Structure 1
Amino acid sequence: MTGHIEPMVGRYVHVAIDGEMHRIYFEESGAGIPLVCLHTAGSDGRQWRHLLADEEFSKQFRIIAFDMPWHGKSNPPASWTGEEYRLTTARYTATIRAFCRALGLEKPVVMGCSIGGRIVLNLAIDHAREFRALIGLEAADFQAPWYDTSWLHRPDVHGGEVCAALVSGLIAPQSPDVSRRETLWAYMQGGPGIFKGDLYFYRVDGDLRGRVGKIDTGLCPLYLLTGEYDFSCSPEDTRRTAASIDGASVTIMEQLGHFPMSENPGQFRRYIAPVLSEILKQSTISTKQGAHV
């Protein structure tokens, strides 16, 4: 055999979300601590392919990336009849929790980027005991909108191209051209109005100002990592948010923008490796302490 086969395997799981079944596509690799990865607004789980293919990480972690309903290979639910898609905090939270239950994941780590980073904060506020650790990439309690979402779903505008154009400036200048193009390609393929619907959560429904102070990192460690070139969720946004959370870990990632895991996977690895190592270490300590009780 001359072809190189990557280690991740893709499957579908049927998940009940708010009483309705959804057919959700996910890819996974490795074994060990479950690590669930959440993609950005308007994109899909392909953003995590480099992490899924990382042989070193997969020795200790069961890495899982799923496409949210309406995204990638996950269709809308059968009841959808074409009405406008709008992601809400409650729906997003329910989807993540239902997916983890459907796969029988015991205290998984959840890592999300952008809208995934925002929802990680909500998981820390309301459901911290369900998770081993939470990692927010490009995460803050709120960002003032800098875009006009009406352009993202118009009959006279190519939705995919305008979505990719909108986010293109969020990629750091040091990112390899091939990775830049791949990151934007997923945006060009998004469903009509889906990026706009995700941004309803990001700019309206998911405002967590005044709530993040409730996060108890003693119940669940929280790691926040933001690229220095991200002007959507700027380093200042992340630092401001973390200032209200006792014990939150903050790292500003050099030479990275809003899509660290896909725009420059090698550079991102430098920053996520110590975080995963710390989670593994703490998990090992907890297991040993539990064995002695």
Structure 2
Amino acid sequence: MSIEPITGRYANVDIAGRAYRIYFEEAGQGRPVLCLHTAGAHTGQWRHLMNDAKVTGANRLIAFDMPWHGKSLPPEGFQTEEYLLTTQAYIDTVLAMVDALGLERPILAGCSMGGRIALQLAALHPDRFSGFIAIEASDFQAAWYDIDWFDRPDAHGGEMGAALVSTNISPHAPPADRWATLWMFMASGPGVFRGDLSFYTQDDSLIARLGQIDTSQTPVHFLVGAYDLTCTPEDAKRTADAIPGATLSVMEELGHFPMSEHPAGFRPFFLDALERMP
């Protein structure tokens, strides 16, 4: 028997005047690295890196479940609302957790929609962070699917979501890690993946803000999987090229969920990204 070094707790925070109970996990010590999960998932995507002593020996990895996700409940009164994530709500949530945890200019590492919001924060709140690792992130992605399929009475939204994202997992991913990744989407709450994808595919406000990002103050490094069909290497390169000083690494055997679909393959790229941060 072994006990993992990851600890989990809850933070009670106020976001835009509403009370939220947000679950977070952490492991390691040293400079803080705040890790953001993808749409429709939760902090479990980061568990392999949190269990990696090479990563956590000098870094304190922290990941939290966004409201409505994983172990973070929706706010009181959610039963009368439709969940649709917005840029402002996402920014407010990340900054509220930075404050609640007392983090002093952490590195922000986000994947997919987490990478998108990392770029928003790099443009709008660079003073709150010391650097940004944008994983599977680009300026804008038009929907190539109908998000209304994820909340229907005649279809299981979680299984529909897992079927969709399965096309974005690399064929090199170990089967156990592939299925662990897909399970997170199968277990997603009703309408949650749909609400996340609304943010990811309909908010194009980032495009005009890329020029505001100053990498001389806060470095930005992109990581993108060669097998990512949602955010292709071309999408990531286009975005990185629009940010003077940004750097990019293409991960040849990885897809859209590298930290959970193929953690061993992702590990050297993540360590390299951390080395690029101050």
Does TM-score exceed 0.5, indicating one fold? yes
Q: Normalised by the size of structure 2, how large is the TM-score?
A: 0.98
Q: Which residue of 1 aligns with 2:177?
A: 179
Write the distance in 2 (CA, Å) between the matches of 1:83 and 1:274: 42
Partner residue of 1:221 out of 207, 219, 223 = 219
Say if 2:26 and 2:63, in contact at 8 Å, map to a contact too: yes
Write the distance in 2 (CA, Å) between the matches of 1:211 and 1:107: 21
SS at match of 1:21: strand
SS at match of 2:80: coil
Q: Which residue of 2 aligns with 1:255?
A: 253
Partner residue of 1:198 out of 196, 208, 226 = 196
Q: Which residue of 1 aligns with 2:65?
A: 67
Q: Which residue of 2 aligns with 1:50?
A: 48
Q: Which residue of 1 aligns with 2:130?
A: 132
Q: CA deviation at 1:208?
A: 1.6
Q: Which residue of 2 aligns with 1:107?
A: 105
Q: Which residue of 2 aligns with 1:123?
A: 121
Q: 2:186 corresponds to which letter in structure 1?
A: M
Structure 1 segments unaligned to the other structure (5+ residues): 283-293
Say if 1:32 and 1:59, in contact at 8 Å, map to a contact too: yes
SS at match of 1:210: helix
Q: CA deviation at 1:140?
A: 0.3
Closer, same or farther: CA 43–204 of 1 in aligned 2, 3 Å:
same
Say if 1:37 and 1:65, in contact at 8 Å, map to a contact too: yes
Q: Which residue of 2 aligns with 1:8?
A: 6
Q: Which residue of 1 aligns with 2:271?
A: 273
Partner residue of 1:37 out of 35, 38, 44 = 35
What are the superposed Cα offsets for residues 198-243 of structure 1, whole Å, 9 maximum, x if unpaired?
Answer: 0111011254222212111112110110000101000000111111
Partner residue of 2:74 out of 50, 73, 76 = 76
Q: Which residue of 2 aligns with 1:285?
A: none
Q: Normalised by the size of structure 1, how large is the TM-score?
A: 0.93
Write the distance in 2 (CA, Å) between the matches of 1:200 and 1:96: 18
Q: CA deviation at 1:57?
A: 1.5
Say if 2:39 and 2:197, in contact at 8 Å, map to a contact too: yes
Q: Which residue of 1 aligns with 2:232?
A: 234
What are the superposed Cα offsets for residues 229-276 of structure 1, whole Å, 9 maximum, x if unpaired?
Answer: 101000000111111100001111110000000000000001111121
Partner residue of 1:26 out of 24, 27, 41 = 24
SS at match of 1:266: helix
Moved over 2 A (4+): 79-82
Write the distance in 2 (CA, Å) between the matches of 1:74 and 1:269: 27
Structure 2 segments unaligned to the other structure (5+ residues): none
Q: CA deviation at 1:36?
A: 0.7
Write the distance in 2 (CA, Å) between the matches of 1:37 and 1:206: 23
Tell me which structure has the larger Cα radius of gyration.
1
More deviation, 55-64/184-193: 55-64
Q: 2:122 corresponds to which letter in structure 1?
A: A
Task: Please show how residues 86-101 of structure 1 align to structure 2 within 5 Å.
Answer: 86-101=84-99
Write the distance in 2 (CA, Å) between the matches of 1:172 and 1:200: 24
Q: 2:81 corresponds to which letter in structure 1?
A: E
SS at match of 2:208: coil
Q: 2:97 corresponds to which letter in structure 1?
A: F
Write the distance in 2 (CA, Å) between the matches of 1:206 and 1:113: 17
Say if 2:142 and 2:202, in contact at 8 Å, map to a contact too: no
Equivalences, count = 278
